[in-house]
Structure 1
Amino acid sequence: MTELAVKVTGLRKRYGDVTAVDGVDLRIRRGEVFGLLGPNGAGKSTTVGVLLGHRRRDGGDVTVLGSDPATGNRLWRSRIGVVWQDESAPAELTVRETVTHFAHYYPRPRDPREVLGLVGLADRADRRVATLSGGQRRRLDLALGVIGRPELLLLDEPTTGFDPAARRRFRELVRLLAAEGTTIVLTTHYLDEVEALADRIAVIARGRVVAEGGTEELRRAHGRRTRVSWTEPGGVERTEWTTTPTRTVAALAARYGDDVPGLRIVRPTLEEIYLRLTGEAAADPAADTGDEAGQDGPAEGGRR
């Protein structure tokens, strides 16, 4: 986990007068599941395109699996798997024919039967791609992304159209690949998916990385306040917004004993942190009150 699969320093890319990527730095370790988040137009797709060698950069240094993507050869490309948002499978072939055909592009592919089982398409192997549902086609795209046994797998909105069972299977597959040492870069708008799978996350906004770290690191650095609620005698519910929830709970325990009635602790979600970092968040519900109660324990009576 100490060797870097991706190293990006000062990446810049312009399209005419528009700066799409403005000094992005990334360090992604081998075997890591890395979430790359950001709103549309933030620079994610451009960054991924540069990592793959599909787009030329205007500045900065980029190394992917030990090579500069701008000069990566065919063997280097065979070490990378990609699942794009757009479907890539020919509609006329069967599922089995498609996966078997793509396997021939790689020096040491997985067994196509194994891959179809991993993505939940074993029972659709003899169906023509044109007859598959949208979610099933997305599973086929995922199969094509992993058939080459990639060292680095880039997943761009991979679970669009998945039902809950398919989404669960996808998570199991990502964990399996990561356990085998595959480095995975995941871009998605399903933040619960990132929270469940990613070892670390980078949030890109306006062409720059505005935050990076594990979910807990992001909570500590950018989560602001935690909501602590409890029930006063007589059934009155109280709430404190606090940046020190442990201290608040300790003060409540001192007041009520070990069993604080109706105690609920709601920490900031990754979605709330993401929206705040990208400038899309609604106002903090405690921000306009000037209420700092909970900094040193709950104020007498609390706040309703």
Structure 2
Amino acid sequence: MSTEPNAPATTPADPETPEPPRGHPVSFVRRGSRLQGRRREAWAELAGDYLIEVPRVSADTSVDPDYRFDAAGAFGRHAPLVVEVGSGLGEAITHAAELNPDRNFLALEVYRPGLAQTMLRISQKGLTNVRVAQVNAPEALAGMLGPASLSELWVYFPDPWHKVRHRKRRLVKESFVELAARVLEPGGLFRLATDWSDYAVQMRSVLNASPMFANLHAGERTGEMSPLTQVWESGVESVVGGAPVRKGKDPVSTGNTGINEGTDTLGGWAPRFEDRPLTSFENKALEAGRMVFDLTYRRTGLPTG
């Protein structure tokens, strides 16, 4: 675990510029990692208790390919492990950890302020079953986490990367699904949520195409009951972030934003996961009029890798 609160943070001048290249696009940009006020204090005071010290190879979110996370050592016990990718300010994972003291939880996040806030929440709630790590999630799933070591994997509201030229940076794609299959135990659950319909369709498509996953709600919420149909019919995504699209510009979220664009006959949308609280991020999406799409898949077959 790390106790270095003043480690230098990478803050590119261009907020659209990702970290130094790793040979493949990353799913995030570094919008600033400076710690201030209480979060700076939290990093100094709490990192030694909750932050996993991950060996690096280049960037400060990279993972040495030889490093293996020792869950029993980190938590001081053997228990089912739940990992959240992109844990943000820690609202979801600390809420779930409080409800499920018999499970271990690991928050993976690239932004130091988010990790500092998560550690504050852990401390304030008196939780002993949560740890955090500043890592690029695909690298963590590729080697840091052992095969079949997770009972659940969560990806809630990943960056949608609206622009077509940026979509290669989306996290949930075929290669990430393969990594998810590697770390989930047989029968383990992969839970996802997004508030953008075209990303929801992409998630559903790549997971439905994988022989390693089965949709727990296949065939459910089709037609008029589908949130996808409702988005298409309402045209709600003709606004971005709740603000009207600038005159002469097309919506960047999806091509299916007009009234009566179609009916979703496939469905497969899960009910909202009851252990996920209404986070500040999700609440902003709802206030902007967007709908939330939930998906839940079960890992099938034997572990890989």
TM above 0.5, yes or no, is no
TM-score, reference length from structure 2: 0.27
TM-score, reference length from structure 1: 0.27
Larger Rg: 1
Kindly indicate which of the two structures has a greater share of residues assigned to strand: 1
